[in-house]
Each structure stands twice: as C-alpha cells, then as structure tokens.
Amino acid sequence: MSTQTRYLIFFQYIGTKYSGAIKLPPHQLLLEKRGVQDHLEDAVRRLKPLNPVSLSISSRTDSGVHALSNSAHFDFQRKNDKPPFTEDILVEALNFHLKAEQISITRAYRVADDFHARFQALSRTYVYRIALGVSHSSQLPLVERDMCWNLRHTEIPFWELTFKSKSFLYKQVRRMTGALVAVGQRRISLTKLKEVMEARDSLAYPQNVIAPARGLFLTRVDYNESDLLSPQTSAGVFSDAKIQM
C-alpha cells in the first residue's frame, strides 16, 4: 500500500509580482497578490496526491523580496499504490506546472517523516543589492530595476551586503541596510543609531530609513547533510548534492 513521502524542495523566484513567500489568508486573496506558496501548492495539487496539500516554508520573505534559494517541505501520497516520485521527476513535473510563473524548483530531496524545513535550517543568508551612482532608475538595465535599491549622486557603482544568521526578525535585514545608508547619507547620526539599537524596540526605529524590498535576495538556506539523507539511503552514505542551493 502506498504511503506518504516527505519531500524537501529548494526553489527560487522573482518576488515582484507576489505578496511574499507564504500564502495569504483566504479573505485577503481578492485584495492582494497571491504568495509564492499559493502557486507551489497549486503545482503540487496538479500531480493529484491522495492527501491534502500543505507546504511548510523555511523562510518567510516579504512582498517584493526575491529568492535565489528558499526551501519548503510537504507530504505526498500517490494514487493506486504507485511508488513515490523520484526527486528528478518531481522537480520536472512541478516546473512544468509553474512555467507561467516566475518561480522555479531547483532541487528536491526525499527526507525523513519528521523533517521540518523551517526548524531544522541551520542558517539563512541574505544579500542586499544597492546600485550607486545612477541618476534615475531608467538608466538601470531592465532586468535590474526591480532587483536593487538605486541610490543617486554617488561615485561607487555597486554594493552587495551579505547577512547570515539562523533566523531574522521581521524586516531586520532591510532595517540594518537602511540604517547603514542613512548614516552614510548623514540623515541619522551614529549616536541616534546607537540609541535605537539599545532600545530593542522596533517602534523606535525610524520608519523612513527602511530599505525597499526590491533589493533583497534570500540566497541560501543551509541544513545538516544528515538531515538530507533519503530514508532509503544506507547509514553513512550521503547525497552527492551540496546542501545549500
């Protein structure tokens, strides 16, 4: 008899047209854009599982934020006692049903039944991209306009700021980036920034210095190699794929 199989998938997306990584409550769907999770779950449903479809996303990016690599797990049971999909077939099938979206599955793993994409992640890495010295966003290449923060009247052409941690607070990377830029532009003093940090209160943070979503990318979600072993894999034998995608 066919049983449920738990899969971990890595996926990437351009976040401009989505409300964020996770799906919205039903009452908000008519008012806002759908989340990346909505489209992923639609693609899984197109494969006709016996069980209800529900993805657990590892990293909840905001509306307009992009991902070179996010991850999620879900359970899948095939009909008519068919064997589980192989990882490669699952990736191919999901991408077929996602071809109308700016979302792509890059890797899949069969994992243990108690694996959790969010809680077992060792770290997340974000990169914030800042285009400098461009007088107007129209001077940026078309593919870059929604993928960086354009700062004018500077001489350095481009910066990338990298942030890595096990987890992040809501808008934390955008707040840190905005604070760095505000100090550099002398819109906020180091003394004031120190006061904000010591307050440990998000309400104390000046709202006009949060960096926009469009420059932020989730680039990596890392796991222990042992967590990515297929339940069918012998002990001590590892997948030949690197954990970070």
Note the pLDDT tens digit of each residue in 84-143.
Answer: 999 999 999 999 999 999 999 999 999 999 999 999 999 999 999 988 766 666 666 665
In this structure, the answer to whether residues 42 and 135 fall within a common structural domain is no
The two three-digit tokens of residue 217, written as one number: 């990318």
d(CA 98, CA 44): 10
| Residue 230 resides in a domain | no
Residue 245 domain-assigned (yes or no) = no
Beta strands in the chain (DSSP E): 5-13, 56-57, 66-76, 103-111, 123-132, 149-151, 158-165, 216-222
From the candidates 42, 62, 75, 88, give the one annotated as an active-site residue: 62
Distances (CA, A) of 58 to 27, 72, 73, 91: 24, 5, 8, 18
Active site residue 62: yes
185 in the same domain as 82: no
Neighbouring CB atoms inside 10 A of 8's CB total: 25
Sorting pLDDT into bands at 50, 70 and 90, what band is 196?
Answer: confident
Domain end, chosen from 98, 120, 142, is at: 120
DSSP per position, 120-188:
T--EEEEEEEEEES-SSGGGS-GGGTTSSEEE-S-S--EEEEEEEES---TTHHHHHHHHHHHHHTTSS
The domain tally of the chain equals: 2
pLDDT, tens digit, for every residue of 104-118? 999 999 999 999 999
Whether residue 227 lies inside any domain: the answer is no
Q: How far is CA 37 from CA 12, 33, 40, 241, in A?
A: 12, 12, 5, 24
Tell which of 120, 137, 159 closes a domain: 120
Q: What domain range includes position 138?
A: 123-219
Query: Model's pTM, two decimal places?
Result: 0.84
Distance (Å, whole) CA 219 – CA 217: 6
CATH number at residue 78: 3.30.70.580
Residues 105 and 127 in one domain: no
Ramachandran sector of residue 19 (left: φ over 0; alpha: ψ -120 to 50; beta: rest): alpha
Report if residue 236 sits inside a domain: no
Residues 89 and 112 in one domain: yes
Shared domain check, 57 and 109 = yes
Separation CA 44–CA 90 (nearest Å): 9
What integer is the mean pLDDT of 11-28?
A: 88
Is residue 17 helix, strand or coil? helix
For 58, residues 6+ apart whose C-beta sits below 8 A from its C-beta are: 70, 71, 72, 117, 118, 121, 124, 221
Residue 191 is part of a domain; what is its CATH number? 3.30.70.660
pLDDT of residue 245: 42
Whether residue 90 is found in the same domain as residue 179 = no
Question: pLDDT band for position 199 (50/70/90)?
Answer: confident
Q: Mark whether 116 and 186 lie in a shared domain.
A: no
> Which pLDDT score, from 0 to 100, does residue 241 have?
39
Specify if 65 maps to a domain. Answer: yes
Task: Please indicate, yes or no, if residue 244 is contained in any of the structural domains.
Answer: no
